Structure 1
Amino acid sequence: MKKFILLALLVFTGYKLHQNGYSFTSAKGAFDKDGRPMVVLFNGPGCAEHCEAIRAVLKSRGANFEEISVAGDDGAPVKNKYGVSQFPTTLIGKREIVGADIMQITATLAETFGKDMLTRMESMAMDNHFDDGGRAKVVMYATSWCGYCKQQREYFADNGIAYEEIDVEESSSNQLMYSALKGTGYPLTYVGYRRFSGYKEGDIKSAVNELAKAGPRR
């Protein structure tokens, strides 16, 4: 009974994180012996549909990956050297993405391994997320009527965050970019390749501070 409850909690936690689009940085990360980033997919019982979607995107982008189960068939937890216990979880270098957020995984692959991980349409859209020197910009996909977009604008203004806004309804080319990024709500904000769905505050500011210290994109 205890094993069943544990399994249920693991699945529920991963599902809720997936629903809310949460992702975060792993303290340990996945790197090979030479310090190069690796991709690791963590699965478990009941992960069939979500894990298969992640496998499909990793394979389609040509990403080599290792797969690890965090729970046995009986639901008992299985320890691993990365300390990951939730599934599905995708560890890409130092970034850890919980849930089957395919576009978050895609963007992280590009940030970690370079723009060759993107489709032609994705690459065209994300080119606008960088300045002429390859430095990450803050770009918000929004509409004029979106209340959360208004809050995000105010947050940017209050915190001195420079950003570019793309009104998705203003032109067909803007709509095409938004569609290429598989946007499903507003605002959708990028800091370079880093993706944030919905109204976010500290997460975006942290990304701006982190990526300001980083070099030009790959």
Structure 2
Amino acid sequence: MKNLIVIGIAVAAVYYFVFNSSNGAFNEDGNPTTLVFTQNNCGTWCDKGVSDLERRKIPFAEMPLDNNKENIARYKDLGGTALPFFVMGNKKYSGYNKYWVATTVAQAFGDKYLTVREKRNFRNHFYDDGSPLIYVYGASWCPYCKKLREELTRRDIDYVEIDVEKTSNPQLLANTMGINGYPLVYVGYVRVKGGADLVSNILDAVDIAENRTL
């Protein structure tokens, strides 16, 4: 009888985390849950990914790929391209970078699993009515920031820009939000990929962010 109870609990747990898994990770009520795909030879990166979820106290199911055809098939079906592979509701991220994990967590769950400092900064990325805004982390001397500013203005796109180096604690802000260069842009909870296509990426992020208010 005990064995049957244990098996029943295990089956229920799997169902909870992978319901409707072809589209993402949801429970039977349609609420987002979390899967993280790992593999033994993934090493440090998978360890860091799992530790990040544990540190944030996010309930998750680890899905090892080692000799597990079912998990491998699910990994491919969900679009995994690198390990660790995070699936949170319909939000997905392959690889490990703690700042990209944070934005994925926030898009899936709001501020529920963010740190106090993350919450404080992410709140600035929203209008008073909770809708997402384009928030630029820049610096007065930065030529790329000037170029972005001019392009957004030319297109009549609303945004807010902050000069990171004039804040009370620039290093703390940079460490919290992962500011490794300027400009860094968020749209609500969505971290925007930089590069030559930054404006295009911002517009794509607006479409994504409008599905998640504060």
The TM-score range, normalised by the shorter chain, is 0.7 to 0.9
1:150 shift after superposition: 3.0
Q: Structure 2: any 5+ residue segments left out of the alignment? A: 1-20
2:8 alignment partner in structure 1: none
Is the counterpart of residue 216 in structure 1 residue 210 in structure 2?
A: no
1:47 alignment partner in structure 2: 42
1:126 alignment partner in structure 2: 122
Q: Which has the higher helix share?
A: 2
1:37 alignment partner in structure 2: 32
1:167 alignment partner in structure 2: 163
The one-letter code of the counterpart of 1:167 is D
In structure 1, C-alpha distance between the alignment counterparts of 2:64 and 2:204, rounded to whole Å:
31
In structure 1, C-alpha distance between the alignment counterparts of 2:191 and 2:212, rounded to whole Å:
18
Is the counterpart of residue 191 in structure 1 residue 187 in structure 2?
A: yes
In structure 2, C-alpha distance between the alignment counterparts of 1:215 and 1:195, rounded to whole Å:
13
Is the counterpart of residue 80 in structure 1 residue 85 in structure 2?
A: no
Aligned mate of 1:61, from 56, 72, 86 = 56
The 8 Å contact of residues 138 and 163 in structure 2, kept in 1 or not, is answered as: yes
The structure showing larger relative contact order (alpha-carbon pairs under 8 Å, at least 6 residues apart) is 1
List aligned pairs for 1:100-111, cutoff 5 A.
100-111=96-107
Larger deviation, residues 191-200 vs 89-98: 191-200
Change (3 A) 1:144 1:71: farther
The 8 Å contact of residues 193 and 201 in structure 2, kept in 1 or not, is answered as: no
1:112 shift after superposition: 1.8
Change (3 A) 1:32 1:185: same
Q: TM-score scaled to structure 2, two decimals? A: 0.76
- State percent identity of aligned pairs: 32
The one-letter code of the counterpart of 1:185 is G
In structure 2, C-alpha distance between the alignment counterparts of 1:124 and 1:93, rounded to whole Å:
24
Q: TM-score scaled to structure 1, two decimals? A: 0.75
Is the counterpart of residue 147 in structure 1 residue 105 in structure 2?
A: no
Q: Structure 1: any 5+ residue segments left out of the alignment? A: 1-25
How many aligned positions are there?
188
